[in-house]
């Protein structure tokens, strides 16, 4: 783990996501080859974006977090902005793709995102009744 990334655990996860506008999360494991090859890319992009929190969840050490987010393959990258997951995708990304995803997440209108989430939740609630 580099100095630019934060180890996320069940003890600090909620606080980290609540206290920070932008959190990128890399779900990984020590035995995962693609995870190891993605780590230097993740660290390099973290250094270039000091205004964001770059967290790492070791799925072996934190199985509850992996299960809570339905992580089925690693690495999986997730972006949480204003406490809303706006991106989640398994697979290691090349640096340019990771930078592009971050750029797109920065441009999101979070009022629109929250409105869309609320509408989807209302639909789901209506279908349950």
Which residues are known catalytic residues? 32, 35
Residues 9-12: contacts with CB under 8 Å, at least 24 apart: 9/57, 9/61, 9/62, 9/65, 10/62, 10/64, 10/65
The SS3 call for residue 58 is strand
Omega cis (within 30) before 34: no
Dihedral of CA atoms 53, 54, 60, 65 in degrees, nearest 10, equals: 40
Asked if 46 and 2 count as a contact pair (C-beta separation under 8 A), the reply is: yes
């Amino acid at each position: 783990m580099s100095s630019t990334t934060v180890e996320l655990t069940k003890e600090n996860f909620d606080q980290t996501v609540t206290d920070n506008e932008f959190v990128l999360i890399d779900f990984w494991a020590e035995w995962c080859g693609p995870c190891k090859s993605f780590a230097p890319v993740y660290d390099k992009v973290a250094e270039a974006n000091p205004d964001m929190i770059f967290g790492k969840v070791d799925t072996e050490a934190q199985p509850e977090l992996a299960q809570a987010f339905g992580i089925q393959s690693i690495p999986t990258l997730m972006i949480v902005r204003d406490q809303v997951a706006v991106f989640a995708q398994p697979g290691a990304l090349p640096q340019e793709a990771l930078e592009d995803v971050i750029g797109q997440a920065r441009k999101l209108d979070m009022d629109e995102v929250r409105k869309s989430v609320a509408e989807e939740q209302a639909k789901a609630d209506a279908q349950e009744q």
